Structure 1
């Protein structure tokens, strides 16, 4: 919001009302500032203990405690009061520099540069992450000074993490696809980037490294929440001492946002949420760390009772590894859950306004926002992690865009916030420029790059990791000089030039699969085939099991000459299709392995020679990201340049 907007009468009145309400509450602190000294709820069941602890006897109030290796029983209450004196200024200096009340980089010049997209971008290389594009605002340090091993993580959290690293077997420290990458050093590099508080966009997350990258990010999230809580507790102590001494309360106690939630983890499936929770609790320092409602979480985010994971019981080569990784477990895409972290516990299924972390899918958040007609719980998000964005693009991408547009907006209600303790940049409407965003994807698409360019406004800088792709083969270009004409130009070339050539050939007009990346294009092509009265069947994400069986059988037996397949169908189902002799890619697939998979399907049948198979890929200059993954970076550059200026 511009400064002029804050001078409006409406804004002044709203601020005045909030300040008056705050005074009437006599500096009443929100739940996140008050040490939790109440007795545990007897109805709650503590059903998870740190793996380094053993189960002790239950107290009279029903709380189960952990017993360490010596046998000493540990108190299960939240000893947060003492935590305020444990941290060092050195450990928290980087946090204060970025998330403190007066970050030095948040000036009008930097904000104007970000709004105008005046980033200075240069290429660099991290030893283990690989090639990166570093974007910075002119006049600010930027991420190019990041050095591996320079992360600033609280010792209380770093010690368990380093023990986990030390337990990595030597033969598991490297990736099968990237043998030069040591997983332990990769974690250190990721942490160094994250603790500099710049944005990170990893466009080619290796499947073998997802776990260790997730662990590094989880450690950063816990470190951020812990430092934020410690700052609040220190200021609570200062205010209490001033009140006891009868002296004026200190004024430099701005340490909060409008609402408590400060971390959002955006995921495509419930199974992803379960993996992230396991990574988060893996860093909780033992012993006696309590995880409340973990059984309920595993029940709701795991497979329903009695349901067998088809991937666990399938033959090793029945499904591609990336498909098993994506869809193993519960694939439901409508969920949201709050997590509250204290010094000695993680409480699951807490109400949003009493949570530190929100784990949700874009659909789950959108349904919640539209139902309540309120997104205030997203007003004070300081770190966003969007994982498996490639999977989110296969869902309704509009949901993801909807969530990002509702981040860091001014709240509609006060939610009992103490205005005198809200950080100035929240009140100035500049929270989006402080927010750190982490995006992870197996590959890049124009939609994801657009989100990266337009929604990430952190003047601390941006790091985009990318990959050089090796070449594969065989393409047909069509002329298109305007992005807004691309859909019509593609269809016109397909319908008026490519398809007539296919229909004229006796060999190519049968056993032909038309692979269509876009759902809108899929509908258009299906309608065109109906209008031309061609013999065809379809496979889309909306096809029932009966429809799929009927279509595959009709195509394999030759009753249908064409089979139109949507990319979303293949993403969700990953069926092997027999009977293919000719392939037409209406556009390059987003997921590069789909290209080679479809090229391999003709050879599932006996007696098929390479000369029996034809393949065409229709592309334009606006398919750069897809082409790069299929034709290789160098090959795609040559193909795109050949389409004219």
Structure 2
């Protein structure tokens, strides 16, 4: 293909007074030799004669233009003896000489996001086979047959980008766009001080109710400053201010880029109704909050609204990247004619990745990326690089679900598709293509699992650690966050500990284009965090409260539970709730163990209380109880997430036949296996389960057809629960919000509820 002519070579470097004809012909002949090669791969063929004719036309055209260029230059040089006295428009001369080629070079320079990133990606795409979204082809090492077509596509893409840049020049800095309000201004010192203090009293709390989302709890940092400050008549500073209380937006106020707007109806057709155009009513309310660039916590994710949620945050992520990209292209076109970089042209972060989407399984990542493809491109349009490799890596390896004694529906929906949990993939967004498997420092979006990120970040002291790519994350999305807790919550906390740290290397960054708040390492105050979970957990609540410090504010969906999962128990039995007191969540761990050993365990060690299952959510509590039982020589068997299948089968058999008094059973094992434990006559919840439906599921196992009639009696079956005031998030979905509050406020420490047989 020859050496590409860079934009800076045309503008900044002083060109020669005359062109070297021999050198030009040599370069053209070299290019023609490459283009005259006939390459066939499948149905792709090149006609040699046609290529020769085209190349000969180019040579004749260039030769004619060359003679036209040499003549005026020689005349000018004869009029002046000094090179400094000669004024030559080299851009015009090069354009007259090279024609379309120099136009392509200029467009490539305009379309680059920085001095190296976009150009390197376009060169890389020349070597990579492109795939349309609906036509997946086999990747091959020899992709030279598509080089010319790819170059033509890149040239058209660059021309379109330049036209779009000119068309959107008036709207790129729209002051009403929440994107501009959020990322383009600095924080006022007073607001920054409030954010750094982390005081809960320095925020305004509002409550509103929307038809679909329900009750919203809004926290907005206090900011007693004005948006614009005039230092002098000509010196005016505009500061970023917190976002207002969210309002349901009209579609015209979405500020969605025109590039993707026509694709949304088809991409979202599985969700929207006939009377709806782009988004469903539920999606409109959610997008109104997310588009306000405030942190958002939605703990009511279900399998029914999962597609709605995925589409909304995918749309927001793509829209954010496109807005950033068009702003950079717009500034590049302005800066091409000047040496200095004004402050208002700072439009980038310390590194390129801007969006991080964390999901638990490969199947989840597959759905997210496919959703982005549908948003970016219509059918039969657009290119996806390395699509085949992506499909092969992120599909298949599905679990087999037995037809006899089937698993619960929620289990099959959770673990459908590829459930691999160690993955990471970079995505680069251009106008007409989405490039998968791009290097992180050349990527706009990163989709990964907590474990996949942990393998890159690693621990202190390990070799080849890398977390610079997390420095300038502007949008962080955590989907199916409750599953992260079942996998390993420490990976999530490890990720947050390495966000927005000072990078060890520049990674080719043009510091003159970096935003000032990025240089000040204030990115955590600009980062928008979206958290979606199917249940409320204290760990997620703490993450949202302490680690999400967006200056725009935060919004949480906080609906009340009218009825609890205990109503789904259809076995007649007593449910005894034991309350204990603790001064803090830290003290709660020790107090719970003491209460269990001193109050609850003695009641169940009698021979009449045989076949007692102890349900334990935390693995560390499980280890502590197991060690205590070994020390006290208590008859028990155990099943946890690390138990081998042979030991699980042996433990189940011994428990069913009454050979073991207790069975220790962890919630994480139940989440991943959902086996049916037979022979349970007494059930102890050491702590309320994270998933409230596990409570009714375990209780419903205590039916007569699951019992060993030779052991125990059906007349004496009980359920005991240990709880404290810090368990309100698990108690409310189990009993209902109103009843849970009454029990916590009551002076009695023991409450008994009865369920009837249905």
Deviations 1:590-630 (A, max 9, x none): 11111010011112726899854310110111211111121
Q: State yes or no: 1:546 paired with 2:649.
A: no
User: Compared with structure 1, are the counterparts of its residues 171 and 633 closer, same or farther at alpha carbon in structure 2 (3 Å cutoff)?
Assistant: farther
Q: Higher mean Cα deviation, 614-623 or 546-555?
A: 546-555
* Aligned residues of 2:346 and 2:514 also touching (Cα < 8 A): yes
User: Compared with structure 1, are the counterparts of its residues 468 and 39 closer, same or farther at alpha carbon in structure 2 (3 Å cutoff)?
Assistant: closer
Q: State yes or no: 1:29 paired with 2:114.
A: yes
Equivalence for 1:438: 530
Q: Higher mean Cα deviation, 204-213 or 597-606?
A: 597-606
User: Compared with structure 1, are the counterparts of its residues 264 and 39 closer, same or farther at alpha carbon in structure 2 (3 Å cutoff)?
Assistant: closer
**How many Å separate the matches in 2 of 1:390 and 1:143?**
29
**How many Å separate the matches in 2 of 1:521 and 1:577?**
21
Q: Higher mean Cα deviation, 285-294 or 161-170?
A: 161-170
* Aligned residues of 2:220 and 2:552 also touching (Cα < 8 A): yes
User: Compared with structure 1, are the counterparts of its residues 534 and 604 closer, same or farther at alpha carbon in structure 2 (3 Å cutoff)?
Assistant: same
Equivalence for 1:594: 694
Cα displacement (A) at 1:142: 3.8
Equivalence for 1:209: 305
Cα displacement (A) at 1:391: 0.7
**How many Å separate the matches in 2 of 1:88 and 1:575?**
61
Cα displacement (A) at 1:37: 5.1
Q: State yes or no: 1:136 paired with 2:225.
A: no
Three-state SS of the structure 1 residue aligned to 2:683 is strand
User: Compared with structure 1, are the counterparts of its residues 539 and 230 closer, same or farther at alpha carbon in structure 2 (3 Å cutoff)?
Assistant: same
Q: Higher mean Cα deviation, 589-598 or 480-489?
A: 480-489
Three-state SS of the structure 1 residue aligned to 2:679 is coil
Superposition map of 1:253-332 within 5 A: 253-286=345-378, 287-304=380-397, 308-311=398-401, 314=403, 318-332=406-420
Three-state SS of the structure 1 residue aligned to 2:353 is coil
* Aligned residues of 1:432 and 1:457 also touching (Cα < 8 A): yes
**How many Å separate the matches in 2 of 1:143 and 1:235?**
29
Deviations 1:307-328 (A, max 9, x none): x5313x646x722232223222
Cα displacement (A) at 1:474: 4.0
- TM normalised by structure 2 equals 0.72
Work out which of the residue numbers 107, 117, 124 in structure 1 matches 2:188.
Answer: 107
Cα displacement (A) at 1:49: 2.5
Equivalence for 2:592: 490
Cα displacement (A) at 1:41: 3.6
Deviations 1:55-91 (A, max 9, x none): xxx997337989xxxxxx9988565333322436447
**Unaligned stretches of 5+ in structure 1?**
1-22, 53-57, 67-72, 174-181
Deviations 1:137-176 (A, max 9, x none): 1245544242243422113222211334456475999xxx
Cα displacement (A) at 1:583: 0.6
Three-state SS of the structure 2 residue aligned to 1:62 is helix
Cα displacement (A) at 1:459: 1.4
Q: State yes or no: 1:416 paired with 2:500.
A: no
Work out which of the residue numbers 465, 477, 482 in structure 2 matches 1:373.
Answer: 465
**How many Å separate the matches in 1 of 2:704 and 2:533?**
30
User: Compared with structure 1, are the counterparts of its residues 604 and 207 closer, same or farther at alpha carbon in structure 2 (3 Å cutoff)?
Assistant: farther
**How many Å separate the matches in 1 of 2:541 and 2:343?**
42
Equivalence for 2:145: 61
Deviations 1:397-433 (A, max 9, x none): 1111111121112211111211111011111111111
Cα displacement (A) at 1:361: 1.5
Equivalence for 1:9: none
Work out which of the residue numbers 82, 94, 98 in structure 1 matches 2:181.
Answer: 98
Cα displacement (A) at 1:298: 2.2
- Cα RMSD (Å) of the superposition? 3.2
Three-state SS of the structure 2 residue aligned to 1:564 is strand
Deviations 1:499-557 (A, max 9, x none): 111113x332x121100011111001111222222221111010122222221122122
Cα displacement (A) at 1:121: 1.8
User: Compared with structure 1, are the counterparts of its residues 60 and 603 closer, same or farther at alpha carbon in structure 2 (3 Å cutoff)?
Assistant: same
* Aligned residues of 2:297 and 2:555 also touching (Cα < 8 A): yes
Cα displacement (A) at 1:388: 1.0
Q: State yes or no: 1:465 paired with 2:557.
A: yes
Cα displacement (A) at 1:584: 0.4
* Aligned residues of 2:478 and 2:531 also touching (Cα < 8 A): yes
Deviations 1:279-331 (A, max 9, x none): 21121222421111122122222234xxx5313x646x722232223222222
Q: Higher mean Cα deviation, 440-449 or 530-539?
A: 530-539
Equivalence for 2:634: 534
User: Compared with structure 1, are the counterparts of its residues 87 and 372 closer, same or farther at alpha carbon in structure 2 (3 Å cutoff)?
Assistant: farther
User: Compared with structure 1, are the counterparts of its residues 251 and 492 closer, same or farther at alpha carbon in structure 2 (3 Å cutoff)?
Assistant: closer
Superposition map of 1:539-578 within 5 A: 539-578=639-678
* Aligned residues of 1:260 and 1:380 also touching (Cα < 8 A): yes
User: Compared with structure 1, are the counterparts of its residues 39 and 481 closer, same or farther at alpha carbon in structure 2 (3 Å cutoff)?
Assistant: closer
Equivalence for 1:83: 164
Three-state SS of the structure 2 residue aligned to 1:475 is strand
Three-state SS of the structure 1 residue aligned to 2:418 is coil
Equivalence for 2:737: 633
User: Compared with structure 1, are the counterparts of its residues 460 and 341 closer, same or farther at alpha carbon in structure 2 (3 Å cutoff)?
Assistant: same
Three-state SS of the structure 1 residue aligned to 2:300 is coil
Three-state SS of the structure 2 residue aligned to 1:400 is helix
* Aligned residues of 1:254 and 1:421 also touching (Cα < 8 A): yes
Q: Higher mean Cα deviation, 591-600 or 634-643?
A: 634-643
* Aligned residues of 1:65 and 1:76 also touching (Cα < 8 A): no
- Structure of greater Rg: 2
Three-state SS of the structure 1 residue aligned to 2:689 is coil
Q: Higher mean Cα deviation, 291-300 or 219-228?
A: 291-300
Deviations 1:92-151 (A, max 9, x none): 632553344325xx2222222223232222222122111111111124554424224342
Work out which of the residue numbers 225, 245, 248 in structure 2 matches 1:147.
Answer: 248
Equivalence for 1:339: 427
**How many Å separate the matches in 1 of 2:533 and 2:120?**
39
Q: State yes or no: 1:619 paired with 2:719.
A: no
* Aligned residues of 1:239 and 1:250 also touching (Cα < 8 A): no
Cα displacement (A) at 1:242: 3.7
Work out which of the residue numbers 648, 669, 684 in structure 2 matches 1:584.
Answer: 684
**How many Å separate the matches in 1 of 2:124 and 2:467?**
32
User: Compared with structure 1, are the counterparts of its residues 28 and 398 closer, same or farther at alpha carbon in structure 2 (3 Å cutoff)?
Assistant: closer
Cα displacement (A) at 1:40: 4.0
User: Compared with structure 1, are the counterparts of its residues 264 and 31 closer, same or farther at alpha carbon in structure 2 (3 Å cutoff)?
Assistant: farther
**How many Å separate the matches in 2 of 1:51 and 1:123?**
49
**How many Å separate the matches in 2 of 1:220 and 1:92?**
18
Cα displacement (A) at 1:252: 2.7
Q: Higher mean Cα deviation, 323-332 or 73-82?
A: 73-82
Q: State yes or no: 1:190 paired with 2:286.
A: yes
